[in-house]
Structure 1
Amino acid sequence: MDHTCIPEEMHESMKSSKVLAGDILLNITGGSIGRSCVVPTNFKEGNVNQHVSIIRLKKDNPNFLQSILSSWRGQKLIFEGQTGSGREGLNFESIKGFKVSFPTVSEQQKIASFLSLLSERIKTQIKIIEQLETLMSGLRQKIFSRQLRFKDDEGNDFPKWEEKNLIQLASRIISKNKENNQNVLTISAQQGLISQLKFFNKSVAVSIPQ
């Protein structure tokens, strides 16, 4: 979430929008509606604008509730709680009406700690993947520009690369699929060639030539 520095006098005059450590911040309007976070314990004070709702719990674990809000169940509550003909946002009354099941505070802490550990592991893995993708991009450039060459199993140089038109290596497929099946394929940047049914998780219409 973006932040802006404001004068101390204005900060004091905006008491209803003051943010404290442990608060849950929930976006209630715009394209990021439903996104939430817990204010870190080392945070001192701040303010939010009218697009963000502050949820301050009396005794329950804020990380536990934030995890619920981020889950499909919480997002369903947020979607159903939106007001207006175009479902353009949440208001405080709809937020107060959210019904959530709470275990004891000690169990909340256990659940929140476990989910936090998984979240940190995911962040670490994402960082590793991003580093590997950057490495692969750089290596591809060097390999295909022939700055980097490999050797054969005996340690000898491979022959020089030959330039060829693609038509010399492949043929165009123009025949139509006449089988009545649902094995329609698509290309995913992450997974390569996969079934459209799996990729879009919905039925795919297939035209069968007459």
Structure 2
Amino acid sequence: MSELPAGWIRAPLGEIAHISSGGTPNRTRASYWGGDIPWVTTGEIRFNTITDTAEKLTPEGLRQSAAKLFPAGTLLMAMYGQGKTRGQVARLGIEATTNQACAAIQLRSGTDPDYVYQFLANSYTALRELGNAGSQQNLNAGIIRNISVPLPPLHEQTRIARIAGVWDRAIDTTGRLLDNSRHQKRHLMHLLLSRRRSVVNARAHWAQVDFDTVFERITNKNTDGDRNVLTISAQHGLVSQRDYFSRHVASDDLSGYTRLTTGDFAYNRSSSSGYPVGAIKPLVAYDSGVVSGLYICFRQKPGVEVDNDFYRLYFEAGMLNEAITSIAQEGARNHGLLNVSLKDFFKLPLCLPPLDVQRRIAAILRVAEAEERVIVAQRETLREEKRALMRDLLSGRRRVRATAAEPA
């Protein structure tokens, strides 16, 4: 742990804040829910200021549960949750209650809550690791109380928090630009892929064929001993488990896995955000790899002239969603996956426009994707620059000057 500048101290978070958690009223009691008291869950803690919640309690629900009402300005930390949730922090912009998975951090006087928020947000990766001891991967109040916080004088805390806030606003602005770009791209995808806008030949005939007219199932197993195990990421497509999870999570015996090569597709029937009936992704990042037999894998049939990238975009736009929903056995799931039979899947109706139309549509949508990637890169640059600056400011390696109205 590096030495702090003169005038700075380190203090456990539990010494400068009161830390507690909330609770969940009985879900079977309708009178506890649907009121006007905001109730925060960990999924709403996303390095943000919370001004509303998806669920709300009644006064009776608050009284009859372990939920507590916390004032605006309280910091929240997700102690456990799915995916990247654990360790994320937020500020309450309103008076609200929380569930038991949220730690409520109420700073005592003499400490700037915005400074502590910035410190905790900047320490996200390290905080997640605190919950990885043994088999227990959750944070808890004891761990959070022992987090060591570097504390400069109060006026310097406030200045650091203000500087960080300027970067946050720039990042948020870029995020809104990205959301708008993604919305426009998706709108354009649906216009072009549903034929509501013609791009080449308005009179061109779009055939409707069975899926197996264009694509064939991949059945070849991993006889070559390929160790590049792939998984489907909604954002990044087919990615190596080593890259995505930073570890190998598949079994040692991969002989039963399906082997893919560049351009092959895999369908993961598990629903996720933005993919209500699962995601179909092509292999583009690697020459080859293997996937679990739970995926439905397919490739372009020999002798069929189609643009592979057109169908990547077609699947990404969810053009098969309605048809997949119609063949899924309602309420039936296998290994947590939508129960879609191979026979039904390969008889799904598929649009087949002329090849020149496919290529033109794909070219237009690739431009939209490129514009989106530029904004993503801009936002990541801002985030990295802020991280580097905060490392210096929070360690005292770079000092901030007091203004004329502040003590030196």
Instruction: Decide: shared fold, TM above 0.5.
Output: yes
Question: Is 1:164 matched up with 2:209?
Answer: yes
Report deviation, 1:54.
Answer: 5.4
- CA contact under 8 A between 1:26 and 1:54: conserved in structure 2? yes
Of 180-189 and 67-76, more deviation after overlay is shown by 67-76
Question: Is 1:193 matched up with 2:243?
Answer: no
Percent identity between matched residues is 23
- CA contact under 8 A between 1:28 and 1:89: conserved in structure 2? no
- SS of 1:122's partner is helix
Kindly report which structure 2 residues correspond to 1:106-125, keeping only aligned pairs within 5 A, or say none. Answer: 106-125=155-174
- CA contact under 8 A between 2:77 and 2:90: conserved in structure 1? no
Question: Is 1:173 matched up with 2:222?
Answer: no
Report deviation, 1:30.
Answer: 8.3
User: Aligned equivalents of 2:216 and 2:86: distance in 1?
Assistant: 49
Question: Is 1:207 matched up with 2:253?
Answer: yes
Give the TM-score taking structure 1 as reference length: 0.61
- SS of 1:186's partner is strand
Report deviation, 1:66.
Answer: 1.5
User: Aligned equivalents of 1:58 and 1:209: distance in 2?
Assistant: 61
Please say which structure displays the higher CA radius of gyration. 1
- SS of 1:167's partner is helix
Q: Compared with structure 1, are the counterparts of its residues 24 and 76 closer, same or farther at alpha carbon in structure 2 (3 Å cutoff)?
A: farther
Give the TM-score taking structure 2 as reference length: 0.35
User: Aligned equivalents of 1:69 and 1:131: distance in 2?
Assistant: 29
Kindly report which structure 2 residues correspond to 1:84-123, keeping only aligned pairs within 5 A, or say none. Answer: 90=141, 98-123=147-172
User: Aligned equivalents of 1:204 and 1:49: distance in 2?
Assistant: 33
User: Aligned equivalents of 1:75 and 1:158: distance in 2?
Assistant: 57
Find 1:2's aligned residue among 33, 38, 41. Answer: 38
Matched residue, 2:186: 137
Matched residue, 1:56: 107
Report deviation, 1:107.
Answer: 4.3
User: Aligned equivalents of 1:96 and 1:194: distance in 2?
Assistant: 37
Matched residue, 1:13: none
Matched residue, 2:195: 146
User: Aligned equivalents of 2:179 and 2:127: distance in 1?
Assistant: 29
Larger relative contact order (C-alpha < 8 A, sep ≥ 6)?
Answer: 2
- CA contact under 8 A between 2:75 and 2:113: conserved in structure 1? no
- The structure with the greater share of residues assigned to strand is 2
Report deviation, 1:175.
Answer: 1.3
CA RMSD, Structure 1 to Structure 2 (Å): 4.3
